[in-house]
Structure 1
Amino acid sequence: MLSNTFHVGGDLGVRRLGFGAMHLPTEPASDREKSAAVARRAVELGVTLIDTAHMYGGGANEELLAEALHPYPEGLLITTKVGVARSPESGEWGLDGRPATLRAQVEQGLRRLRVERIELLQLHRIDPGTPLADQLGTLRELQAEGKIGRIGLSEVTTDELGRAREIIDVSSVQNRYNLLDREHEPVLAVCEAAAIAFLPWRPVAWGALGERAEIAAVAVEAACTPTQVALAWLLGHSPVILPIPGTARIDHLEENLAAADLNLTPTQRDRLNRLSEKPGQAAPS
């Protein structure tokens, strides 16, 4: 049985099943209070990893978490992301990995989260318009200044991850990944070999009718919900996977976190693995 904890960067211990704050609304005031209640309930239930980003409301999501949880309980890791900015002309969000932008967003994140150091800071996307060495070099400088503890990446290929590891120590990777969407299996393999935390975003997704039926059948057998099956599969698939399911409802939060106690049988896992097979392709182990 795999451990329910993981040490990000080799030294920062967290429970593997975390919480993604992206879906928490920050306005109007009534919704904001409900969002704060969800965040507080997550911590009450033992969550020690919460994911947010500058892009989520232009920092409003970071402010919400600080409002709900500061002063933070010991052992709580709030990780945020930088590198996506809103155009002052069009108002559209776009990749922006220029050193000045990254530095400004880190400084804003420190202020909004009310911390002196962001223990895990992730580059939301690699900006193809800015040299990778400049993007990661800026984060490395901020790390040397004590404003960042560990550096992670998001939505990267194996090649991009390899090039990044030549510049910095990569502590985490946050890629799209779930039971039915395993495009980034090669990236996960690299992370597992290097003990890099792998945070799947969109950890629960439903495919074709037949796939949903198979997941539902396993859920009936295990006396749980299909969502819990999908999360339990992730937790059992690799010791470096740290799912961060998000929700704005306490009942869904409680359902998600209960997946940590679900143990799928080897036969059930084999059936679920086969859902990602393509014609002529064996199910990944």
Structure 2
Amino acid sequence: MTSADTPSTDVTTGGAPRPGSPGPLAGRTVSRIGYGAMQLERLHGDRKAGVALLRRAVELGVDHIDTAQFYGNGFVNDLIREAIRPQDEVVVVSKVGADPDPDGPLPLRPAQRPEQLRASVEANLTALGLDRIPVVNLRRLDTGPGLRAEGDQAVDPDDQLAVLTGLRDEGKIGAIGLSGVTYDVLRRALPAGIVCVQNAYSLISRVDEDMLRLCAAEGIAWVPFFPLGGGFPGMPKVTDEPAVRDAARSLGRTASQVGLAWLLRHAENVLLIPGTADTGHLEENIAAGTMRLDDATLAALDAVPSRTTEIPLD
């Protein structure tokens, strides 16, 4: 694991073509299709399979991995530490802002206070075996499905960015990203040097289009989570859309691949981190980077209506 760039923009250090073409992230060149590691929690009983999946991702050209210490309460970061080697030149992106809560209504609880953010960075460093995490995302909980910050967890973003910029100055993190934020919070945070934004976004959930455009103008990577919708029961899925299914049949691909390919085509600053615990699905996700959507197909997909990602939490 490293924060260094690779010698060529067309291939990774291992010589594999960059899935989805090359794109910028925190001043480095990475494959536009990376890997979201959250689903590795499902392999808690099969550590060998988890390591093998990560190694296969690297073989396929994945060179940025999204993780968090609260994924599997440290298990996922521990797998990454075992599987990813320094010579792989993989950029690890972690996030802070929540802690594990296995017995709660969601398996997480907010951890937004500055001292909690610092503790989370330190925990990530230890678990990943790194001296510096290339990118750390602040999960703000302002928008999108899932947790909300209340009481003493409702912290001003300036206070949070102060501790993260301090950690950057100390050399413990390389760059700062944001997740689960509003347009106004992103605007306020720009002077801190934001390098990426992670919000729920997909073909069927495009309410953050203005934020995506702002990121493009500022040279900030847009890294959608829930890139195929779903995520929680009752949320709509990209793969259920008739236009997506029609395109998949016409192209001889899967509906999931169509949804991912649309994201890559929609904006040049999009980086994808689809997650899976299955090697076959991993390979399918990577192959979405080779798809070409003609103008008629793209127009049909663009016409799919956007809808909310909000869900009630009991």
Q: Judge same fold: TM > 0.5, yes or no.
A: yes
| Equivalent residue letter for 2:138 | L
Structure 1 residue 154 and structure 2 residue 179: aligned?
yes
Distance in 1 (alpha carbons) for counterparts of 2:239 and 2:134: 42
Pair 46,93 (structure 1): closer, same or farther in 2 beyond 3 Å: same
Distance change >3 Å, CA 88–CA 198, structure 1 → 2: closer
One-letter amino acid of the structure 1 residue matched with residue 96 of structure 2: V
Alignment TM-score, normalising by the size of structure 2: 0.81
Q: Which of residues 198, 206, 209 is equivalent to 1:182?
A: 206
CA distance in 2, matches of 1:250, 1:271: 31
Deviations 1:136-156 (A, max 9, x none): 100000000001101000011
How do residues 133-148 of structure 1 correspond to structure 2 at under 5 angstroms?
A: 133-148=158-173
Runs of 4+ with deviation above 6 angstroms: 87-92
Question: Aligned-pair distance for 1:212?
Answer: 2.3
Deviations 1:143-176 (A, max 9, x none): 000011010000111101011114x110000000
Which residue matches 1:15?
31
SS at match of 2:71: coil
Distance (Å, rounded) in 1 between the aligned partners of 2:292 and 2:37 = 26
Alignment partner of 1:75 is 2:89? yes
User: Which residues in structure 2 correspond to 1:216-231 (within 5 Å)?
Assistant: 216-231=245-260
Q: TM-score, normalised by structure 1?
A: 0.88
Partner deviation per Cα, 1:88-126 (whole Å, 9 max, x = no partner):
997963222222111111111111111111011101225
Matched residue, 2:61: 46
Q: Residues 208 and 140 (structure 1 numbering): CA distance in 2 closer, same or farther, change over 3 Å?
A: closer
- 2:97–2:117 Cα contact (<8 Å) kept: yes
State yes or no: 1:236 paired with 2:251: no
SS of the equivalent of 1:153 reads strand
What is the distance in 2 between the residues matched to 1:173 and 1:141? 20
2:41 aligned counterpart, secondary structure: coil
Indicate the residue corresponding to 2:15 in structure 1.
Answer: none
Check conservation: 1:14, 1:75, Cα contact below 8 A.
no
Does residue 261 (structure 1) correspond to residue 308 (structure 2)? The answer is no
Aligned to 2:22: 5
Q: Does 1:164 align with 2:189?
A: yes
Q: Given that residues 21 and 246 in structure 1 are in contact (C-alpha distance below 8 angstroms), is that contact kept between their aligned partners in structure 2?
A: yes
Q: Which residue of 1 aligns with 2:140?
A: 125
Moved more, 262-271 or 122-131: 122-131
**Secondary structure, counterpart of 2:181 in structure 1:** coil
Q: How many residues get paired?
A: 272
Residue 121 (structure 2) aligns with: 106
- Tell me the CA shift for residue 15 of structure 1: 0.5
The 5 A counterparts of 1:30-69 are: 31-69=46-84
User: C-alpha root-mean-square deviation of aligned residues, in Å?
Assistant: 2.3
1:197-216 Cα deviation digits (max 9, x unpaired): 01100111374899622211
Structure 1 Cα separation of the partners of residues 243 and 102 of structure 2: 47
TM-aligned CA deviation for residue 74 of structure 1: 4.0
Gaps of at least 5 residues in structure 1 are 279-285
**Percent of aligned pairs with the same amino acid:** 38
Change (3 A) 1:208 1:109: closer
1:198-247 Cα shifts (integer Å, max 9, x gaps): 11001113748996222111111111111111111000110110011100
1:197 corresponds to? 221
CA 1:23–1:209: 2 relative to 1, 3 Å: closer
In 1, the alpha carbon distance for the partners of 2:212 and 2:186 equals 11
Distance 1:107 1:141 in 2: 13
Which secondary structure state, in structure 1, belongs to the residue aligned with residue 70 of structure 2? coil
Whether the 8 Å CA contact 1:118–1:149 is kept in 2: the answer is yes
1:61 positional shift: 1.2
